[in-house]
A and B are shown apart, each in its own frame.
Chain A
């Protein structure tokens, strides 16, 4: 496992440095513009949860090196676990980096204490888990082209939803209803009273989503033809 983690680190170092440079500018801008910890957490979690898994998981497919990795003396299930661990480590580093920027940048409007609340941290982990749980198995099954099609498709769907909203208005527009439901879901995550039950449910959700992602991804990777 450690050998594979080292391999992932060596293979992805350059890519992660590029993402780090891009994110530095983006997060600095977000810190300058946003003042709500909740909005900041949602935006950065979505960015980190999309960008980092896409880079790490898609890279193997891009360079067609899965055949090499799977020919080495390792089990395929361990390969998936290492990708999972490496991606989570990079995502946590990414989120840690945003917190660091909030602390050191003089023009930061986001209150550090608000971001570091248990509720916001759990919401962040939950959102990243959801995105990663889609990207990991999807990339294993359909490759980097598949995930690009998915992401571009979602963007186009968003544009279509905006367009339809302009044309048809809100009533009876199913796309708008869908996006409103997603937005409503995220809002309720952020604004739900911080009760122990709520924390427990969020933590359970995080664990369940990640376990499901590992289970599905391992099954898909074991069946993968290289």
Chain B
């Protein structure tokens, strides 16, 4: 399958944080959600894909091309919406677009204006007078107006009202219907991903926990509830992110079928996992491991 995006052993070292050996692939015509708790490295990955920060090691290939060696070509085919939209504040919406448009051969001005109308973005308003959500819409309109084949979005739905958030997700779903456009977006609003993502990549403490098709993740992972004895002994290795409460233990398992088989007839409750539960349990597990490491 042809990939819009591939990373191999991607590494970035900051003082106090290291993104370790990140490898994943996004096939063309799909949406991938990048999820994880705050500080997991989601924004760093998007910045690395755009060469806005320098990688310490590893490889990034966009459309099969090395992102450093073919920087101009891959960037001309990529649209982006960054968490902090860095437009010059005193330019008007139309002016901001006019500055960016010449960099893209495929820029469609009438499409940009149509998007602004649809997003209710006034062309004559100054950028610094726009709310965060409106700036996000502007960045999205810019990303879409040049017909990008890969769209990278960093927390695009934060700051948006529920109506536009829903519309944005529908638009992203619509974009990939041509089989050519792919979308990678990071978010901590996991309900967004349940709606649209084909692939999920979960990051924790700078490492990938999994990167797989959404259906596969939701079919394999499960939440298990039961008495503490179920999670001990030979079964301990089957569970992750244990949470002990007054009425028993809740944990995640990456192998629902195996958990069903081992716990059959022992009073365990096994439920399909939701994405927010995945982030919660695995995030907690990561925090505990980090604290244990410090001790």
Contact = CB atoms under 8 A, between A and B. Distances in A.
Contacts of A65: 86-88
Given A63-B88, A75-B72, A226 B47 contact: yes
Interface in A10-26: 10-11, 14
A72 B148 CA distance: 12
B100 A11 contact: no
A112 B230 CA distance: 95
B90 interface: yes
Interface stretch (B29-37, B75-83, B163-171, B232-240): B75-83
Interface of B: 47, 50-54, 71-73, 75-76, 80, 82, 84, 86-91, 95, 98-100, 102-104
Interface residues of A, number: 22
A73 B76 contact: yes
Given A3-B103, A75-B71, A226-B47, A68 B86 contact: yes
Nearest to B104: A73
B130 to A, nearest CB: 15
Contacts of A223: 54
B103 A70 contact: no
B5 to A, nearest CB: 15
A3 B102 contact: yes
B74 to A, nearest CB: 8
Q: Which DSSP category, helix, strand, loop or mixed, fits chain A's interface?
A: helix
Contacts of B76: 73
A67 interface: yes
A3 B88 CA distance: 16
Nearest to A78: B72
A14 B92 CA distance: 13
Given A10-B95, A67-B82, A226-B52, A72 B103 contact: yes
A78 to B, nearest CB: 9
Contacts of A222: 54
Contacts of B50: 70-71
A225 B88 CA distance: 19
Interface of A: 3, 6-7, 10-11, 14, 63-68, 70-75, 222-223, 225-226
Nearest 5 pairs between A and B by C-beta?
A73-B75, A73-B76, A68-B86, A3-B102, A226-B52
Given A10-B99, A223-B54, A68 B87 contact: yes
B52 A67 contact: yes
A64 B71 contact: no
A71 B82 contact: yes
Contacts of A225: 52-54
B52 A70 contact: yes
B207 to A, nearest CB: 21
A76 to B, nearest CB: 8
B72 A14 contact: no
B150 to A, nearest CB: 13
B102 A73 contact: no
A223 B103 CA distance: 23
Contacts of B87: 65, 68
Contacts of A7: 99
B54 A73 contact: no
B51 A70 contact: yes
Contacts of A75: 71-72
26 contacts: A7-B99, A10-B91, A10-B95, A10-B98, A10-B99, A63-B86, A63-B88, A63-B89, A65-B87, A65-B88, A66-B86, A67-B52, A67-B84, A67-B86, A68-B82, A68-B86, A68-B87, A73-B73, A73-B76, A73-B103, A74-B75, A74-B103, A225-B52, A225-B54, A226-B52, A226-B53
B144 to A, nearest CB: 15
Contacts of B104: 73
A3 B99 CA distance: 8
